[in-house]
Structure 1
Amino acid sequence: MIRAIRGATTVSNNDEREIVDETKRLLIEMIRQNDVNAEDVVSVLISMTDDLNATFPAKALRHLDGWTYVPVMCMREINVPHALPKCIRVMMTVHTKRAQQDIHHVYLRDAIQLRPECE
């Protein structure tokens, strides 16, 4: 079965190190909570809001052992008025035996307000 795992986080600054570190933290938590193996990943899409452009957040994925061959793409989030600023969102598509209700979506930092039921 193919399922998507959602995640989001925020950063305080448009800073390369902070963007990579926080994206890595989010990815690790998504992987941990859903017991994901790199071999089971179809692809990973990562978006950032317009106020972030210091680096590609996909660099974080390349820092994970065994994730070298996982396809990843970065993109811009739609610029909606009053949207959560400095936000990084991830959509990880995986092969899994988990039922849809057993997928753990991960929201960190200020992104918790996007999905308060995921706290």
Structure 2
Amino acid sequence: MTPEISTRKVVHIIFQARNPSRKNEARQFIDALNDDEKAHLVAVAWVGRGAFEPEDYAEALATAYSEATTPTADYLMGMPHLSENLEAGLEALDIDVSDAEEDFYDR
């Protein structure tokens, strides 16, 4: 199963979460995502954190939907190492981020 959130959006959040002065922007960006994108973002972070294996992505996604009791931005921004977890999750899911990173760096 492939995450139903654009790689570019995930990379955007990674870069914002790494920069302390842009944490509020990251929170606003996450808040603006639709519910499906939010659930997929959480599932990617969980895979990156090791809470789920890549082959269990569907289970991670189902859990993200069922356990969404707090605002996603609050949950994710409170997660230690969010950017690293997202990066590791994309890598574990064999998602190539090179084009998205180049777009971000070209700004």
Question: TM over 0.5, yes or no?
Answer: no
Higher strand content, 1 or 2: 1
TM-score, normalized by length of structure 1? 0.27
Choose between structure 1 and 2 for higher RCO, CA contacts under 8 A separated by at least 6 residues.
Answer: 1
TM-score, normalized by length of structure 2? 0.29
